Amino acid sequence: MNYAFRFNVVWDHFPELMNGALLTIELSATAMAMGLGLAVLCAYGKSAGPRPVRWLLAGYVELIRNTPFLVQIFIFYFSLPMIGIRLTANSAALAAMTINLGAYASEILRAGIEAVPRGQVEAARALGLRRLQIFRSIIIFPALKAVYPALTSQFILVMLSSSVVSTISAVELTAVTNSLQSTTFRSFEFYFVAMGLYFAMSLGFRASLSVIYWAAFERSR
Amino acid sequence: MGRSFGIPEFLYLLKAIPWTLLLSLGAFLGGALVGLFIAILRIVPSRPVRWLAVGYIELFQGTPVLMQLFVVYYGIAVLYNLHVDAWSAVLIAFSLYSGAFLVEIWRGSIQAIPRPQWEAAACLSLSFPKQLWHVILPQAARISIPPTVGFAVQLIKSTSIASIIGFVELTRAGQLMTNATFQPMIIYPIVAGLYFVLCWPLSLAAQTLERRIDANLGIKKHL
């Protein structure tokens, strides 16, 4: 091994890397919020919707969970323009991430919802709570709390899989790293540092998500 | 006008499926070896070695597989001044990646075995290896099957990422055909459909097995 490491090249371009990381964080955080919202909607549709809606939702979940994220991105970015839906790279990435996460998160939520004891729902109904009220405070809130660890893992996975959106020229961390290494020829150094940044981001997201857990579920006690 | 999407183009996509499957299978077997090795590192008495194993798992679960692929593909090339072909690079990278996940799945399965099973085996004066081999592992193996199959689905989908460094599997074949025919609206949904055909039966099998095992163990599911 006679390779001279030149990490100073990486430090010279560090601001650019940070810009890429910022877009990664932005995309991931937005996709997490929107994906969770989508998952809750799906969960509501599945528990209260008519049968065709339930089938449609089940089809959506199975379709997304059994196809690669990369192909989903290609469909959003390359296929949709053919039927007149033109998205910028960033919004295609965001849409793909949201819809992908929505499917996984709704499947995770389903497990939490199934764990809510029937008696609680019946008690709430006996107390005269409306359907939406029951769904919000008796079903979704405890279900979210119960499956929070699994959701956290899924959130992190979405952040990590966002590296794949570099293929549609969304300039997040991976795309920035790719272009920098190709102009400087210090590929190992750049990928090594980028990997470190991703690792730091997944630790950061994990920490922020546990703060959110605390704020949402523990503080009120 | 250029080519349009027809039977030969569809056959071209079909011919790429074995590469996706081969890569998935290779990465799974490689990952099983890596996972076994890491599992051993995790239970040796030396603490630094155990930390090393945990660090490995955290690193490979906490970074994108695409980055791991780049580091292997470009990293080995510059560090050892050695040209790695795409096939070896993706096989190495995906083995390292799946090892980190498989070891955690299997550890979880062993930990899911109730403590009294160990105690009962110890009462029968079985040695530790015998407790593990005759009592714990047969039960843990059954628990581990559904999540392992589930991970296989994840792995098949992840191998699409190999297309990014030019390895021609199903996704790359789809890209090539799109470049030739300019019909992404037809091709990518077909590619997605083909992945679905590969993955869905496995997903269903994992679900069914999980339900059956839960029923057998009499475990009431509560998360």
A147-166 confidence digits (pLDDT tens): 999 999 999 999 999 999 99
Q: Distance from B117 to chain A by nearest Cα, in Å?
A: 27
Residues 6+ apart with CB under 8 A from B32: B98, B99, B102
Flag if A1 and B79 touch (Cβ within 8 Å): yes
CA-based nearest residue in chain B for residue A159 = B64
For chain B, domain boundaries: 7-215
Alpha carbon of A2: minimum distance to chain B alpha carbons (Å): 7
Best interface-test mutation with B: which of A191, A192, A206 has the largest number of B CBs within 10 A? A191
Question: Tens digits of per-residue pLDDT, A181-191?
Answer: 888 888 888 99
What's the pTM? 0.90
| The two three-digit tokens of residue A17, written as one number | 């890397």
Find out whether B91 and B76 touch, Cβ atoms under 8 Å.
no
Q: Which class for A173: exposed (0-12), middle (13-18), buried (19 or more C-beta within 10 A)?
A: buried
Looking at beta carbons, which residues of chain A come within 8 Å of B175? 74
For B117-162, how does the pLDDT look when each residue is reduced to its tens digit (9 = 90+)? 999 999 999 999 999 999 999 999 999 999 999 999 999 999 999 9
Domain that holds residue A103: 7-218
Say how many domains are in chain A.
Answer: 1
Q: Give the model's confidence band at B222: pLDDT under 50 very low, under 70 low, under 90 confident, else very high.
A: very low
C-beta atoms of B203 and A68 within 8 A: no
Q: What is the pLDDT of residue A2?
A: 66
Instruction: Decide if A71 and B79 are in contact by the 8 Å CB cutoff.
Output: no
Would residue A72 count as lying in a domain?
A: yes
CA-to-CA dists, residue A109 to A63, A99, A137, B108, angstroms: 17, 15, 14, 21
Contact criterion met (CB below 8 Å) for A104 and A159: no
Q: What is the pLDDT of residue B219?
A: 52
Contacts of B183 in chain A (CB under 8 A): 82
A25 has a pLDDT exceeding 50: yes
pLDDT at B34: 97
CATH number assigned to the domain comprising residue A137: 1.10.3720.10
Query: How do residues B14-36 score in pLDDT, each as one tens digit?
Result: 999 999 999 999 999 999 999 99
Which of residues B87 and B221 earns the better pLDDT score? B87
- Indicate the average pLDDT of chain B: 91
Residue A1 inside a domain? The answer is no
Interchain pair B195, A111: CB under 8 A: no
Interval B177-206: pLDDT, tens? 999 998 999 999 999 999 999 999 999 999
What confidence score (pLDDT) does residue B78 get? 77
Look at residue B218 in the predicted model and tell me its pLDDT: 54
Distance from CA of B149 to the nearest CA of A (A): 13
CATH number of B7-215: 1.10.3720.10
> Is A133 a member of any domain?
yes
A99 in a domain, yes or no?
yes
Q: Is A173 within a domain?
A: yes
Binary contact (A191, B64; C-beta < 8 A): no
Mean pLDDT over each residue of chain A, to the nearest integer: 92
More confident residue, A220 or B16: B16
pLDDT of residue A145: 93
Do A79 and B188 count as a contact with CB atoms less than 8 A apart? yes
**Length of chain A measured in residues:** 221
